[in-house]
Structure 1
């Protein structure tokens, strides 16, 4: 079903529903981070087991990306987004039960399900967000992805506040399960019925099997793969900041743990701010030029961070690093969604992004063991440069 005419009020409600979906995705992925020390203590598990436990989230997310194409054809946008959010809420409740029972197997199941549902939600809201952009006639995806960043900050804040107030992880997860379910039920009815398909070239039978074949063919589409290179560079840069920036500021640049945490806060603010205000820049100069500007600044930022001696130079490097990773994912999703079977196309590039978030930080850790953490960051600079060189793939698809 193709997009139908939407009046401005319905379009605004549709946009707000997708923004709410992005925000709930951010709340979801940041829910457990601040509570890992307590979870480790209550389940009597060490850092290695926690690492394996968290890996199940990304594995589940990749599975969810593969499932998203047939699910979107089957459910459509409205029911798909609602089903994903309700499934996330149910998985969060299962995680609450796992912590309460001190059961590692229940936690594993909860993490796998929440990863799958988040992967599906990621594709659905990006496809819907791209459709809203087309109907609005202006760039909105960076703003929507900023909602994910803001949701992540809110989720992290909820976890930190619950830890400070002595609220158990089980109680926190149960409360967040209710929040996510309520938001889904409140906003999903504003999403138009049907899937956001652009008309495909005429075929005798545009069936689900044909859609699956289109998804497989996506992996041989050079344009999608080049968009994937952009995703690889920016997602590895973002994931490495999430995992290693604070430690590097403390160990390599000689700052206290509190100051190092402030540097990461500056990174998060820089990324969210660029996404919020980046839309007009895209409308003015286009996706390709925007990605070239931001990734070039990201390369400069990483060089300043690696070589900088003064804390102020390092801070400038952090902010430029944040700018560099801010726009690649939303604009890559928007570019990939152009054309027939957008869910399949989004799934291809999102899979590359998720793979980089799974494999990238351990690779940085491996390089850091032999060459030092700052030297390992040269890989990020090289991949950011590759994203700059491949930015042309984000231009309007030729028909």
Structure 2
């Protein structure tokens, strides 16, 4: 898609995508950091708060399912920028509903808007990420996902500072939204227009129809890659939602120690993703995926059956390293074929988000009966299956697929 770009343009594109990955992480962490304050402002019970937060899942799923069609019509840059802008509107709405107006329905609507914007942006930025990889001839998606983690960390720290300073929710969230909008105004010119847009290809093939884009869900390779990502995203999502409680309940430690364990997990995953590009270039996707699955399995086994927190902490580190690669490497593999890249990356991303959104609640239901530590055996099975199917990520002659020129160009 990017043969017409020179080295400097590709470099600027790459830099911009790092920031486009960090921005959703920043905005998501901003909202999460204020959830306790919003709950108190609304006077909502845990059950009521659960239904309010369901708005986020609703919007996200709608966005994920529609993203590939939007990208095919308007291009990756337009959808990515629009998604962040829509998400910012949702963030401001959440802030107003969660403090100034104190309306739970408004928070639900704001989260649905926020989720929709983030959903379409997530697919678009991963499509852009796969295209930058091909243009730069380097493995970059793990690094882009590390940028997302870094954005999350910045958002969480900023949220903690805002809470300590007593900044009202609506001002804090509006300020975060303004930062995102200013960033995309500055960055969007660095991204080529028309990435993955059907009518922008010079491949000699007709654009994919809506039916053809939906048909990628029947492709064996895409489905296998989706299962790999599903299993590894389940490992990541279960830790994000349950790890502190797993450690507190399973090892009888303080909540502060449980939070520390989660910090270890996030640090290990971020470091793994930061190093992932070099590992992929040296050893290849399949070897990295199999090794990461083995590390995650070993880590989960140690956490589940460990006899002390010190030993379990080692398992948490291995779990974090093992969870770092499945999502970005699977998306990179889904983007091998330039025709239909948005549809395939969208399908795999949707499966990953299914694991993020649905997996943790299921784990909670199982944990209610057998305990959270034993419930992690379900995650162990998912990671094992992902490791066994890792061969699906083997490249499919991507160099031959990309020998044809493209008319993608930079527009100001």
Answer yes or no: same fold by TM over 0.5. Answer: yes
**How far is 1:106 from its partner?**
1.4
Q: Is the CA contact (8 Å cut-off) linking 1:3 and 1:196 kept in structure 2?
A: no
Partner of residue 240 from structure 1, selected from 232, 238, 241: 238
The two structures have a TM-score, normalised by structure 2, of 0.92
Structure 2 Cα separation of the partners of residues 309 and 168 of structure 1: 44
Higher mean Cα deviation, 54-63 or 143-152?
54-63
Question: Is 1:262 the counterpart of 2:254 in the alignment?
Answer: no
The two structures have a TM-score, normalised by structure 1, of 0.95
**How far is 1:66 from its partner?**
1.6
Name the counterpart of 1:150: 150
Report the aligned-residue RMSD: 1.6
Structure 1 Cα separation of the partners of residues 15 and 172 of structure 2: 26
Name the counterpart of 1:124: 124
Question: What is the 5 A alignment of 1:136-285?
Answer: 136-196=136-196, 205-206=206-207, 210-285=208-283
Question: Is 1:367 the counterpart of 2:366 in the alignment?
Answer: yes
Structure 2 Cα separation of the partners of residues 223 and 147 of structure 1: 28
Question: What is the 5 A alignment of 1:341-360?
Answer: 341-360=340-359
Secondary structure at the residue paired with 2:209?
helix
**How far is 1:235 from its partner?**
1.0
Q: Is the CA contact (8 Å cut-off) linking 2:52 and 2:105 kept in structure 1?
A: no
Partner of residue 326 from structure 2, selected from 325, 328, 338: 328
Instruction: Could you tell me which runs of 5 or more consecutive residues in structure 2 were left unpaired when the two chains were aligned.
Output: 402-412
Deviation digits for residues 288-346 of structure 1 (CA, Å, limit 9, x no counterpart): 11000011110000000011112221011001101111100001111111211111111
Structure 2 Cα separation of the partners of residues 55 and 257 of structure 1: 26
Partner of residue 293 from structure 1, selected from 291, 294, 316: 291
Secondary structure at the residue paired with 1:30?
helix
Change (3 A) 1:3 1:9: closer
**How far is 1:167 from its partner?**
1.1
Secondary structure at the residue paired with 1:95?
helix
Instruction: Could you tell me which runs of 5 or more consecutive residues in structure 1 were left unpaired when the two chains were aligned.
Output: none
Deviation digits for residues 159-205 of structure 1 (CA, Å, limit 9, x no counterpart): 121111111211110110101101111111100111236969865x5
Name the counterpart of 1:29: 28
Change (3 A) 1:24 1:329: same
Q: Is the CA contact (8 Å cut-off) linking 2:64 and 2:350 kept in structure 1?
A: yes
Secondary structure at the residue paired with 1:6?
coil
Structure 2 Cα separation of the partners of residues 366 and 90 of structure 1: 34
Structure 2 Cα separation of the partners of residues 390 and 377 of structure 1: 20
Question: What is the 5 A alignment of 1:15-26?
Answer: 15-26=14-25
**How far is 1:28 from its partner?**
1.9
Alignment size in residue pairs: 394
**How far is 1:9 from its partner?**
1.6
